[in-house]
Amino acid sequence: MYSRFIAVLCLFFSLGLVSALPPNLAIRQAPSVTVPAALASPTSITTTNTVQTVNGTMTETCVFTFTPVGQQIQEIRNCTLAMGGSQVSSTLVTASSTASPTAAAAFVLPGTTLQVLPVGLGVYGGITAIAIFVIIFGTWQRIQCRKAFRRQRTVENSPIFAAYGGVTKGAFDFSD
């Protein structure tokens, strides 16, 4: 009896949690970082991103220059953002072959942190807690009533109760 109750409760929880989780949670992985072999001479990479916005076309051009300095690689990022007639330039210099705090702050992988309060999760959890409380309270009350009924039946069927005229068939029949 209790095993069925627990099985249904586990099924209830598993169905709710499966639909509440994002579908690609298990697929997400941290971006891999590959360190190339030692550079013989400075290497430059140029990227251009163009985005159409409501205010016009926005173009971002970045030049990444990797310069060998001893055993480390110095990375220089020179980016220009142009929109209409205005331009904004920025330069970032990193003197390391591994990721540094400045380089890591430049890009944040979206979806890895909670930036808003999960209200739906709170509401779902609250309703679930109330439902579990109602089920447990109802089961406890049913068990208490069953114990009281069995106790009363035991007393009614005892020889002592029957000796004093106990409850017998037709005891409350006053049709004589």
Q: What is the pLDDT of residues 101-127, one digit of tens each?
A: 444 456 777 778 877 888 999 999 999
CB 8 within 8 A of CB 33: no
Q: What is the pLDDT of residues 21-77, one digit of tens each?
A: 444 444 444 444 555 555 677 788 888 888 888 877 888 888 888 888 777 778 888
Any idea where the domains of the chain sit in the sequence?
39-100, 119-163
Is the pLDDT score of 3 beyond 90? no
CB 87 within 8 A of CB 80: yes
pTM exceeding 0.85: no
| Rounded Cα–Cα distance for residues 174 and 176 (Å) | 6
